[in-house]
Chains A and B, each alone.
Chain A
Amino acid sequence: MITVHFFDVPHEIYWGLLIALYFYYTGMSAGSFILTSLGTVFGIEKYKKVSKVGVIMAIVLLLFAPLHLLFDLSQPGRFINLFTHVNLTSAMSWGVYLLILYPACLMIYAWFLFRQDFVKGLNQGGFKASLYRFLLFGKTDMSEASKENDKKQAKFFGTLGVPLALAVHGYTGFILGNVQARAIWHTPLMPIIFLMSAMVSGTGLFIIVLMLVEKFKFGRLNEDIKALIADIANLMKWFIVVDGALMIIYFIVLWYSSESGYAAGYFLLHNEGWSFLGLENILGMLVPLLILLSKKARQSLPAVVIASVLTIIGVLAMRINLVIGGQKLPLTGSKIVEYVTSGQDIAIVLGIALAVIVVLSFLYSVLPMNRPGAQERAEIQGNKTIPTTKGVAQ
């Protein structure tokens, strides 16, 4: 039947780039934390080397993520209302508390991971020593009992961090999944898809950050780190497999759901094909998967870097396709709702990204990033030759 609308009012897409980026950042925070908790929490020894790199990255990403939301508010000064008025039926209201609990838990966890290194770094003098002294809050005890306590507490807060990480990103899936008005969002798979793609992008970014930290802190990538990166790349391969499987399941059920679900699926394939198929699923998932299938590629740093960068781009495209694409489908009227990114939004996104890079670089350069293995070797050497050595493999 031919239908012609000749009067309709325009509508606007209100959740744009900033919201997509917020989901993206919390995802990478949760993903990188869960990955690096494999050492401290799940006791997989080789991952202990990188828990410190991972937790700093997770904390910084998570602290900057909500800035996107703050800038997106029409009344940013009223954000305090989020704390004073709780609505238990709103997923956004759940998030307010998770966004405080999760980084708080991670900071306590990180403190126990770093404490002994802070104490060891006290005698080097200068800015770092003053910083460490401040961060230690007077807890300089280096007895065996206190070292054991550090280990115990790190495990406790790390273990608490895992469900919090799942929740802090899972809840963002509920933000979209609970909206029954939009078939493209309204699926119980949404929190799981968000979590899985977060594992993929979190791992991808973590690999790159780890390489940079190792390179700048220790001058080169040691063999054990190279082996670990190959290992993480193997994990990333499986994350992509699960994420891809979820995407396929999501899409098939969307296709066979309601008329608006089918239209949403058709929209993703055709109207958004370039971004949905091309960027998100082929370039962002299939290509890295194909690269990582080969053991040789997993052991080659350039190949792993390419795969990581592709997943990071792919998951960003996925967040944008879901958040913004989901609102392009009209709820009333007769037209696709157009989205135009404002220059202000792009400036905010770039500004926050730059701030994250600056803060991460600063933290990685001032914090003692020495790790089990490298650190112990240096200590033994140091004790034999110069007793007053800094004892840090830098």
Chain B
Amino acid sequence: MGKRYAMVIDLRKCVGCHACEVACKSENNVPLGVNRSWVEELETGKFPNVSRHRLPRLCNHCENPSCLNVCPVKATYQLEDGTVLVDYERCIGCKYCIAACPYDARFINRERKTAEKCTYCHDRVAAGLLPACVNTCIGGARYFGDLNDPQSEVAKLLATEAVTVSKPETNNRPQTYYIRADEKALRPNLLNIVGGGK
């Protein structure tokens, strides 16, 4: 069986330092104002009953990616190992993938003038290194590896821990898993934002 790359983020270990975000920017030369990888932070409850949650976000490298299905020129493609990439030479910048991604993972790189997103640091991984965000994580909260290898850390975590993904109902089958992610962080609380809640 071939490789299937996935990421597991253990939120018990995340300290909210945003080092992953900075490492990603620096590694991938991401322009100002846009992010391939970022951390949402929120607080819930009322003193003294409060809790604080973080949710690092990045491309989920879905098994059935909406972005890939909607691309009119097949500029978005998926490798055998599951990594979803954009062909920057072919992308016409129609932005359909950006509109279709349920995770806000994509944006237009104004310098390159194409759609762009996290690549799981494909070049680093191909060279035998870890993605920059995993490499830099000071809490050791991020794990990256091959799900098809039962001895890999990600495969072990998926087998032994309760994991969750963002918006499983969309049939994108995301491959970035979270341990102890808070539901309020996994999706926007629309009733709070728009109104209409009790």
B85 at interface by CB-CB < 8 Å = no
A74, B42: Cβ atoms under 8 Å? no
Q: Is the interface of A mostly helix, strand, loop or mixed?
A: loop
B194, A270: Cβ atoms under 8 Å? yes
B33, A10: Cβ atoms under 8 Å? yes
B43 at interface by CB-CB < 8 Å = yes
A96, B72: Cβ atoms under 8 Å? yes
A333, B73: Cβ atoms under 8 Å? no
Question: Which segment of A53-61, A176-184, A304-312 sits at the interface?
Answer: A176-184
Bound CA–CA A265/B75 (angstroms): 34
B120 at interface by CB-CB < 8 Å = no
Tell me the chain A residues, 1-20 only, with Cβ under 8 Å from chain B.
1-12, 14-15
- Out of B44, B108, B169, which one reaches A14, CB within 8 Å? B108
A6, B196: Cβ atoms under 8 Å? no
Q: Chain A's nearest CB lies how many Å from the CB of B57? A: 6
A87 and B170 in contact (CB under 8 A), knowing A330-B188, A331-B102?
no
Question: Which segment of A78-86, A140-148, A195-203 sits at the interface?
Answer: A78-86
B91, A75: Cβ atoms under 8 Å? yes
- Out of B41, B94, B101, B102, which one reaches A73, CB within 8 Å? B94
A90 at interface by CB-CB < 8 Å = yes
Which of B115, B170, B190, B192 has the most CB atoms of chain A within a 10 A radius of its CB? B190
Chain A residues near B187: list those with CB within 8 A. Answer: 332
Chain A residues near B94: list those with CB within 8 A. Answer: 69, 72-73, 92
A263 at interface by CB-CB < 8 Å = yes
Bound CA–CA A265/B157 (angstroms): 40
How many residues of B sit at the interface, in one of the four size bands? 35 or more
Tell me the chain B residues, 81-124 only, with Cβ under 8 Å from chain A.
90-96, 98-104, 107-108, 113-115
A6 and B42 in contact (CB under 8 A), knowing A329-B190, A330-B188?
yes
B184, A12: Cβ atoms under 8 Å? no
A259 at interface by CB-CB < 8 Å = yes
A263 and B191 in contact (CB under 8 A), knowing A8-B40, A179-B66, A180-B170?
yes
A6 and B43 in contact (CB under 8 A), knowing A78-B92, A180-B66?
yes
- Nearest residue (CB) in B for A326 is B99
A331, B108: Cβ atoms under 8 Å? no
Tell me the chain A residues, 81-132 only, with Cβ under 8 Å from chain B.
81-82, 84-87, 89-93, 95-96
- Nearest residue (CB) in B for A83 is B73
> What sequence of 0s and 1s flags, for each residue 19-51 of chain B, a beta carbon within 8 Å of any chain A beta carbon?
000000000000001010011111111100000
B40, A5: Cβ atoms under 8 Å? yes
B100, A179: Cβ atoms under 8 Å? yes
Chain A residues near B195: list those with CB within 8 A. Answer: 266, 270-271
A181, B101: Cβ atoms under 8 Å? yes
B99, A14: Cβ atoms under 8 Å? yes
- Out of B39, B42, B91, B102, which one reaches A180, CB within 8 Å? B102
Bound CA–CA A76/B42 (angstroms): 40
Chain B residues near A4: list those with CB within 8 A. Answer: 42-44
Chain B residues near A334: list those with CB within 8 A. Answer: 40, 42, 188-189, 192-193
- Out of B41, B95, B102, B191, which one reaches A6, CB within 8 Å? B41
Q: Chain A's nearest CB lies how many Å from the CB of B122? A: 21
A9 and B38 in contact (CB under 8 A), knowing A69-B94, A75-B113, A81-B73?
yes
A4-B43, A82-B92 provided; 4 other pairs, C-beta below 8 A? Answer: A11-B104, A73-B94, A75-B91, A95-B72
Chain A residues proximal to chain B, CB less than 8 Å: 1-12, 14-15, 69, 72-76, 78-79, 81-82, 84-87, 89-93, 95-96, 175, 178-182, 258-260, 262-263, 266-267, 270-271, 327, 329-336
Chain B residues proximal to chain A, CB less than 8 Å: 16, 18, 33, 35, 38-46, 57, 66, 69-75, 90-96, 98-104, 107-108, 113-115, 167, 169-171, 184, 187-196
Complex A-B: 17 CB contacts under 8 Å: A2-B45, A3-B192, A5-B42, A14-B108, A73-B94, A75-B113, A81-B90, A87-B73, A91-B70, A92-B96, A181-B100, A260-B190, A263-B193, A330-B193, A332-B103, A333-B40, A334-B189
